[in-house]
A and B are shown apart, each in its own frame.
Chain A
Amino acid sequence: MSSVSPTEIKREFMKSKTGLIGVLILLSLVILSVVAITTIPIDTFKQWNNPGNWISYPKTAAPAWINYFVMEKIPEHLILDNPTVVTKDDVISLTSHQFDVQYHYDDFPSDFIYEINVEYSGSQLLQISLIRPNNSQILLVSKSLPQSDSKITHHERIFSTDSNIKKNIQIHFSEMGFYNQNTTSENMIFANNYGDVLKGNYLFLVNIYGVNENVNVIDSKLILGGKAYGMMGTDELRRDLAVGLLWGTPLALFIGIAVAVGSVTVGLIYGVYAGFKGKKTDEAMMRFNDVIYALPALPFLIILAVTISNSIFLLVGFLMIFSWVGIAKVSRSMALQIKTRQYVEASQMMGQKNSKIVFKHIIPQLLPYAFASIAISVPAAITTEAGLSFLGLGDPTFPTWGQILHDANIYGAAARGIWWWIVPPGMMIAITGLAFVFIGNALDAIVNPKLKK
């Protein structure tokens, strides 16, 4: 094996188109990981499997950008938590939160929820009314908050299915003369006289009236349920897939690179040492290598994940156990060749320590090969982990792309046509793999010039 100098590798690598594409993809993945780690705190991400965390998100909503491609605009899921606040202090104080909604979709919203967290004392009246694009005003809810002499915090969710809302709507529309008994409240208030969607500007007014101005609204949120949300949509459990996909990137890179670096390092040292020592040591070490080689890897990985632990860090270790074997074999045969070179023999005769010869004289010769192997073995590690996760053996505290696909499979995403739950995670796995394959192949072609012809 001919040694190639680092500068030569760099020069050759710059010439390889696929290699550069690979580096480019990898760079963007790294940027994505940095974005994920900085913008989405890990605590949020650890709530991935906690349904309570996702309650204000829509169920199986398509990505929002899909509206650019379809004629009938799908209603977007709107979470409005930034109302215009108007306060009036008089004999009767008034705190008014106004939510302005530009509704220009071709379908009705699936529901609406108003969520309030308020601190007050005394008795307060909560009133929600709606001004529609045709300037008619409907009173939706009028209810008093629980009476309290001392200061308390009150949390309440008012759903569109509330019977009071239904009653108020019935009164309003019966007066107008076109009340339809069989539709839901949201379909009624977002409809015109013919039952079609009335597009335009809706204004939700949330008014809190009190005799004394002891009202402090901590949190006020209007959720207009829709069927499209965010960059990547949501899944059956209302989880924002963009969060999962973003956080999957650093995890996949970590798993892939940790396994590849670990197994190549172990394999390299093991193989070189066996080849360098030769004789009985070599024989024994290679037999052990054969045993690991003959073990069925995936079944054993499954057994290990089931019986020992499915922690992501242990999983990295398990994957290493099965992936250093091939590298050990190749580096042993390379070490056998290098061993016979004169400078190695010379340093041996000079009485240099074995470990020093291995690390100073043989391993540096194999480094180009090692880097190529690292790049080539990353995709296998990522896909194997994804496969294990897909079988439901992943680490639930660190959901990966494989686990998203696992959930998709369980909830029958393919059968229900929820493509945004299946395609992006797999694409990410494939793209990440591809980046490393490109880099690896480009390096490999430089290290093994025979392949180039």
Chain B
Amino acid sequence: MFGVLMITLLLTIALVGSNMDIILKQGIVYQVRAEITENPAIAESFSTVEEFDKFIQDQTDQRIETLGLDEPWYSPQRVGFTMYKILILDFGNATFLTSDSGSSNVGDILLEKIPRTVLLFTTATIIISIIGIFLGALAGSKVGSAIDRITSAFAVISSSFPVWWIGMLMIFLFAFTYHIFPARATPSMLPTEPGYILALLYHMTLPLITIVMIGFGTWAYLVRNFMVGTMQEDFIIAKKSIGIDKKKIIYKHALKNAAPPIITILALSLSGSLGGAIITEAVFDWPGMGRLYFEAISVMDLPIIIGATYVLTVLFLISIFVADLLYGYFDPRVKTE
């Protein structure tokens, strides 16, 4: 698992490293030039153009060396150093982006964005899974009924719609045609004002509805398929023939038996939700992890890209691990293997 994490990081560094170096070096050249234009005395102290050029070159080289940029990004020292820093959770400072409070420490930025993503996407995932499990259980217990068909059809149809497009339509309908919800998902007031929480909840209604609407169908369909499998098992048929209440069978016995795969999916989608959907956040202008990631990539802010990838991958791996443990707990058969 640790190996997976390291490979992910290496790949990220490999992909953005060379571009990053070019950008940083250009930055240094600009910096040196700017200093000279600010202070004309430096330029005047040279008699020939060659000398002056040499001075600029020396200054640039010197700074590149102090930052360790004279070695290519793939040199073992630099990669090793970056990896070591990340392992001790020191992500360094962002090159361009800052947090809302103005800090450019990557740790601060991530800490600021993660709660917002949790607020929207994790809430949505929980709602989706609750609706999905109950609807799926209901549909799975009455195979072929109207509710089963509607659920299945809805799942199939909703899975082929891109969430962000539905988001655009929702904004078009409810923000601009009927003026019920605001179009931008970020409240315009400061977090310290008293009504902030209410305003935030009001602003997140539209994205929340959109995500839930598109998401729960697929969930219900999955749960339904697990339920269909369990409902055919002998012990359920035995319980039915004894005459146990059908509701009790569905929610107590069948659902419990279908639990292991459901929990695995739940764990994975919860950790997946932390990344926020990059595109959904872009549509609703939600200032979470997804948008941070996109902004960081578009300006090539290496520390943030690496930091965010690292955090997301760690969370993903942890959730795989937890899901495995839970699977063993709910379905002891896998443990004996």
A interface, CB within 8 angstroms of B = 18, 287, 290-291, 294-296, 298-300, 302-304, 306-308, 379, 383, 386-387, 390-391, 405, 408-409, 413-417, 419, 422-423, 426, 429-430, 433-434, 436-438, 441, 450-451, 453
Contacts and interface: CB of A to CB of B under 8 A. Distances in A.
B137 to A, nearest CB: 16
A295 B228 CA distance: 32
Contacts of A413: 172
A295 B156 CA distance: 27
Interface string B154-175: 0011011110111011011001
Contact of A387 (B164, B166, B232): B164
A379 B218 CA distance: 14
A430 B225 CA distance: 24
Given A296-B275, A430-B160, 13 more contacts: A291-B3, A291-B4, A298-B278, A300-B15, A303-B297, A306-B300, A379-B159, A391-B294, A405-B168, A409-B283, A414-B172, A414-B175, A434-B157
Contacts of B312: 296, 299
Interface in B250-286: 275, 278-279, 282-283
Contacts, number: 128
10 contacts: A294-B8, A296-B275, A302-B293, A386-B162, A387-B279, A422-B172, A433-B159, A434-B157, A450-B228, A451-B225
B84 to A, nearest CB: 21
Q: What class of interface size applies to chain B in its complex with A? A: 35 or more
B294 A434 contact: no
B97 to A, nearest CB: 15
A433 B161 contact: yes
A396 B125 CA distance: 35
Given A302-B297, A306-B300, A414-B183, A391 B278 contact: yes
A438 B164 CA distance: 22
* From A296, A415, A451, residue with most partner B Cβ within 10 Å: A296
B177 interface: yes
A433 B160 contact: yes
Interface of B: 3-5, 7-8, 11-12, 15-16, 19, 143, 156-157, 159-162, 164-166, 168-169, 171-172, 175-177, 183, 225, 228-229, 232, 275, 278-279, 282-283, 293-294, 297-298, 300, 305, 308-309, 312-313, 316-317, 320
B141 to A, nearest CB: 12
Contacts of B16: 303, 307
A440 B62 CA distance: 61
B297 A306 contact: yes
Contacts of A290: 4
Contacts of B166: 426
A433 B165 CA distance: 13
Contact of A426 (B162, B278, B282): B162
B143 A391 contact: no
Contacts of A438: 156
Nearest to A387: B279
Contact of A303 (B12, B160, B320): B12
A302 B176 contact: no
Contacts of B183: 414-415
Given A307-B16, A414-B175, A430-B160, A422 B168 contact: yes
Contacts of B308: 299
B8 A291 contact: yes
B279 A390 contact: yes
Contacts of A419: 172
Contacts of A390: 164, 279, 282
Nearest to B20: A307
A224 B164 CA distance: 37
A307 B168 contact: no
* From A304, A308, A416, A433, residue with most partner B Cβ within 10 Å: A433
Contacts of B175: 414-415
Contacts of A433: 159-161
A417 B293 contact: no
In the complex, the 8 A-B pairs of residues with the closest C-beta atoms, listed nearest first: A433-B160, A426-B165, A414-B172, A434-B160, A387-B279, A383-B162, A430-B161, A414-B171
Contacts of A409: 168, 283
A413 to B, nearest CB: 8
A299 B160 contact: no
B313 A437 contact: no
